[in-house]
Amino acid sequence: MDITIFLKGSALSALALALAFVAPPEAAEAANTASAEASGEFEQARQDRRANRSERRAQRQSNRQSNRRANRSERRAQRQESRPANRGRQFQQRGNRSAEPDARPVQRQQRTERRSERRQQRTENRGERRTQRTENRGERRAQRSENRGQNVQRRVERRGERRGDRVERRTERRGDRVERRGERRVERRGNRVERRGDRRTERRANRGNRDFDRRSDRRLERRDRRSDRRVDRRRDRTENRRIRRDGYRNGYRDGRRNGARAERRNHRRWDRRGWRSDRRYGWQRHRQANRSIFRLGRYYAPFRAHRYNRLRVGFFLDSLFFSSRYYINDPWSYRLPQVYGPYRWVRYYDDVVLVDIYTGEVVDVIHDFFW
């Protein structure tokens, strides 16, 4: 009933809204009044439903309370009715107990007997436990002794195995050492043979180079001697002319004095032949005895694209080739003579060159001086 009313009210309200949008003003007002009446009826029906719900709840509560009270009263009446019968039973039981003989002494005796039996049982159990413990202890000790003996035997076996392994390793190491020694000996012999062959080839090559160098050096020395002789002759001629001229002008003493000065100037000039014939400067023997000193490593030229050129006496070098990094500061360690004045011993690749640092002129040169 309530659902139908609700549906009717909603349908009427929807109809009223539709008429309000479509119908004229008078029809719209009538529709509005109808919708208002329908909504009022719907509200009234809702209030009625709520009132019915509250009445039914109150009825249920009152019924529950009345039922509980009735049940309580019934149980109380039953208890009151059953009390006299229960009391008669209790009195009867008490009378029966009083009529029977007193069983307390018997119960006491039974209790004492039970206690004694329990005590005896406890003592017996204790004895059995003690014997069991002693037996278990003996078994454990025997087991421990057996385990100890087994452990000792295992240790002895392990030690023997370790010793055998050590002996095997030692023998293997000794065999490896012997093999390595043999291999090393073979390698050393092969290396010795190779070194001997290399030395022989080097010696042969060096002999050929030395012979060629000696020939070339001899030729150069001959040319240098010839050129030096020519220069010396020219200088002597000019000096003699000056001496004569000065002697005629200033007298014989002045001419003799000027000639001595010229001779001292000539002695200050570098002598390439003199120091080579001196045994103190035997650099070749010294190089054969001390080869490591003549191995200076790689030569780094001052220019990247520069290549080796075989220099001769009279050649002029650039100043970068005889800078301080190329100086031989201790000539005597290579059995070279000491220099003086503007002269410096300079390394040029594997050659050693004596340069006049004022002009850059090569005064003396030794080819293949270093290894």
> Per-residue pLDDT tens for 256-304?
344 444 434 444 578 888 898 888 999 999 999 999 999 988 999 999 8
The CA distance from 95 to 353, in Å, is 155
Which residues does residue 316 pair with via DSSP β-bridges, in sequence order?
A: 361
Q: Is the pLDDT of residue 184 over 50?
A: yes
Q: What does the DSSP 8-state code read for residue 357?
A: T
Look up the domain containing 340 and give its range: 281-303+310-371
- Which of 25 and 215 is assigned the larger pLDDT? 215
Quick check: is 327 in a domain? yes
Q: What is the mean pLDDT of the chain?
A: 79
- Which of 13 and 280 is assigned the larger pLDDT? 280
- pLDDT tier at 25 (50, 70, 90 boundaries)? low
Quick check: is 74 in a domain? no
- pLDDT tier at 22 (50, 70, 90 boundaries)? very low
What's the first-to-final CA gap in the chain, in angstroms? 131
Pairing mode, if any, of strands 343-348 and 361-366?
unpaired
CATH of residue 296's domain is 3.10.450.160
311: Cβ contacts below 8 Å, ≥ 6 apart: 317, 348, 351, 353, 362, 365
- pLDDT tier at 366 (50, 70, 90 boundaries)? very high
Quick check: is 55 in a domain? yes
Helices 2-22/25-99 angle, 10° precision = 160
Among 14, 38, 63, the domain-final residue is 63
**pLDDT single digits (tens) 93-110:** 666 655 555 567 888 888
The CA distance from 165 to 365, in Å, is 71
Quick check: is 352 in a domain? yes
Quick check: is 82 in a domain? no
Amino acid of residue 61: Q
The CA distance from 269 to 370, in Å, is 26
Of 17-26, 81-90, 165-174, 255-264, give the lowest mean pLDDT range.
255-264
> For 120-143, what is the mean pLDDT?
91
Across 86-110, b (16+ Cβ under 10 Å) vs e yields eeeeeeeeeeeeeeeeeeeeeeeee
Contact indicator for 366, 346 with CB cutoff of 8 Å:
no
Q: What does the DSSP 8-state code read for residue 100?
A: S
**pLDDT single digits (tens) 204-217:** 777 766 666 677 77
Q: Which of 176-180, 226-230, 281-285 is the most confident on average?
A: 281-285
pLDDT at 17: 55
Angle, CA of 240, 243 and 246, to the nearest 5°: 150
Number of domains in the chain: 2
Quick check: is 23 in a domain? yes
- Burial class from Cβ neighbours inside 10 Å (0-12, 13-18, 19+) for residue 259 reads middle
Of 19-23, 235-239, 249-253, 343-347, give the lowest mean pLDDT range.
249-253
- Which of 146 and 234 is assigned the larger pLDDT? 146
Q: Is the pLDDT of residue 353 over 60?
A: yes
- Which of 102 and 85 is assigned the larger pLDDT? 85
The CA distance from 24 to 40, in Å, is 24
Of 56-70, 183-197, 215-229, give the lowest mean pLDDT range.
215-229
281: Cβ contacts below 8 Å, ≥ 6 apart: 275, 335, 336, 337
Contact indicator for 354, 362 with CB cutoff of 8 Å:
yes
The CA distance from 130 to 134, in Å, is 6
Quick check: is 252 in a domain? no
Q: How many residues does the chain have?
A: 371
The CA distance from 35 to 27, in Å, is 12
Of 59-63, 64-68, 226-230, 276-280, give the lowest mean pLDDT range.
226-230
Does an H or E element contain 245, and which? helix 104-250
- pLDDT tier at 339 (50, 70, 90 boundaries)? very high
Q: Is the pLDDT of residue 247 over 80?
A: no
Angle, CA of 256, 266 and 333, to the nearest 5°: 145
What is the spatial order of strands in the sheet that 361-366 belongs to?
Answer: 343-348, 351-356, 361-366
The CA distance from 203 to 195, in Å, is 12
pLDDT at 271: 82
Among 12, 46, 63, the domain-final residue is 63
The CA distance from 27 to 22, in Å, is 9
Quick check: is 92 in a domain? no
